[in-house]
Amino acid sequence: MIAAMKIALIQYNPVIGDFAANIGRITDWLTRAKGAGCQLAVLPELAISGYPPQDLLERPAFLNDHDHAFAGLVEKTRDLGLGVICGLVTRNSDPMGKPLHNSAVLFSEGEVLFTSHKQLLPSYDVFDEARYFEPGCGSGTFRYKDLHLGITICEDIWNDKSLFPHPLYASDPVGAMLAQTEHPLDVLINLAASPFNLGKSGIRQKIFTTLCQRHHVPLIYVNQVGGQDSLIFDGGSIALDTSGAVIARAARFTEDMVVVDTDTWQGEIHGAPLFDPEQETAEVCEALILGTRDYVTKCGFSKVVIGLSGGVDSALTAAIAAKALGAENVLGLALPSPYSSPESLEDAEQLAKNLSIDFAVLPISGLFETFLSTLEPIFSGAQPDVTEQNIQARIRGNLLMAIANKQGRLLLSTGNKSENAVGYCTLYGDMSGGLAVIADVPKQLVYALCRYLNTDREIIPIRTINKPPSAELAPDQKDEDDLPPYPVLDAILAAYLEEHRSIDEIVAMGFARTVVEDVVRRIRINEYKRKQAPLGLKVTTKAFGLGRRYPTAEGYKEGALP
């Protein structure tokens, strides 16, 4: 007979290292859980510090403050009469190994009752947990108020051999846990800090359903929510019964709490399904809004400035910023050059009106002429080329940064993934900024997002969406003068960057070899630009930045061996 108990799934948005604020928010949520009649509450992975704390974990002062904060939380909630499973950093008492564990602790009424350590420590893509933590061992099971719990942390449930043809780890913590325990588990609990990317929610759903069906055990999964640097955590905490059917679900991309009753195995359903292929564009939009809001505000800013070119990239960036921060906190600045079309300026102004953001125009023609005049003694006899185009972009970058500095704003850069991949961007020009909102959004997805934002009314001018993309840095310039058509470019980039396909394999997909080889060459030679680019929000399986570690100075050319 399973003990009747109400369990709260609490997904909250921490600020890394802001222990006072984090403990305050956790306490508020635990008080709500108690008010909802719960006897147990589950928080995400590393809930005290926020995830990922990275090299802050190497600072003794940070660890001491973390321990002090956790002790304060245990004491502040002593009288709630509520059991709490909380993710936190603990010290490794063994003289061998890494000094820390990534742990889950169950405490109640001022006393720590049980501690379990994460066993599978990911070190791929954006993860680097083996750098800091010692893997745990043991069953992770504990009986609380006659409810037999199996406690795991994030990656511990991501090694099912039936789902992954080449498992990353030799051990399966869930299988081992069930084999070692004498009594069946009443519920498997997983504390997570699992970042969002396109398609991941479907993978999660499959893992969860398979676990429940294979082991005949209900599952409770509680995920962190919020933006942290380039990572976006989507929440989507969920509970499933033994058949894998969803019985409770928290909303995505926002703080939330749902309650599960173990007596009936029923709970609350908030928000949209965890996985709906028809809603992927909407998911990306919500992720970018959340990531922008949290990065700007967690870094201490409230206002932003954006260069508006009249094109889709800057229009999308401005629309996301307005939704994330409020229109009153966004300044759009048009900086027309001698080659800017009147239509582009009109479109930029119309966008600002549609969004109700502040708008100003600063022509750069005079500054451009001054630059050319100053450089003329050295440039004399040389034909105009990309140098003059880059000067215009850098003038704009300087003006935008000056306004950002003077007004205490954060400059949002507007380059997309397709351009950044092949270096179709100007270092210290359009790459200037503190956050690259759509840096991981391929051009075709940019268009899809613009159309999505226009679902109810025209926000992004239709002419902006329909006109051929152009940097407008030279007479009659079009992006496709220098690049393959974006549908072709995006398909090659996805195959090469995200699927790790070889040049031969991509050619076999139907693309011209000369085009594929040129795209790959451009990716290689522009690594130095991306290393100096502002941080970008991650929404695909492989973003430039934290999760892609390639040398800048290297000589590897695929297929060059005789």
Q: Which residues are known catalytic residues?
A: 45, 118, 154
Give the whole-angstrom CA distance, residue 397 versus residue 419.
Answer: 17
Residues 6+ apart with CB under 8 A from 494: 442
Hunting for tokens 């719990």 — which residue is that? Answer: 149
The dihedral of CA 3, 261, 187, 121: what is its sign?
A: negative
The phi, psi pair for 432, rounded to 5°, reads -65, 145
Residue 385 CA, chain-centre distance (Å), reads 37
**Residues 6+ away with beta carbon under 8 Å from 32:** 8, 257
- Encode burial over 486-506: b for 16+ CB neighbours within 10 A, e otherwise: bebbbbbbbbbbeeebebeeb
Report which of 300, 242, 240 is spatially closest to residue 275, judged by C-alpha positions.
240
Look at the alpha carbons of 78, 81, 82, 83 in this order and tell me if their dihedral is positive or negative. Answer: positive
Q: Measuring CA to CA, which residue among 72, 61, 100, 106 is closest to residue 87?
A: 106
422 closest CA partner among 526, 503, 506, 556: 526
Query: Whole-angstrom Cα distance, residue 513 to residue 508?
Result: 9
Residue whose pair of structure tokens reads 């749902």 in the numeric block:
258
Separation CA 6–CA 150 (nearest Å): 17
Quickly tell me which residue has 């039936």 as its tokens: 162
Q: Which DSSP string corresponds to 44-106?
A: -TTTTT-S--GGGGG-HHHHHHHHHHHHHHHHHTGGG--EEEEEEEEE--SSSS-SEEEEEEE
Q: What are the beta bridge partners of residue 370? A: none
Q: Is 505 helix (H, G, I), strand (E, B) or coil?
A: helix
224: left (phi over 0), alpha (psi -120 to 50) or beta: beta
Burial 156-176 (b: 16+ CB within 10 A, else e): bbbbbeeeeeeeebeebbbeb
Residues 6+ apart with CB under 8 A from 31: 80
ω into residue 52 within 30 of 0, thus cis?
yes
| Calpha distance 84→151 (Å, rounded) | 12
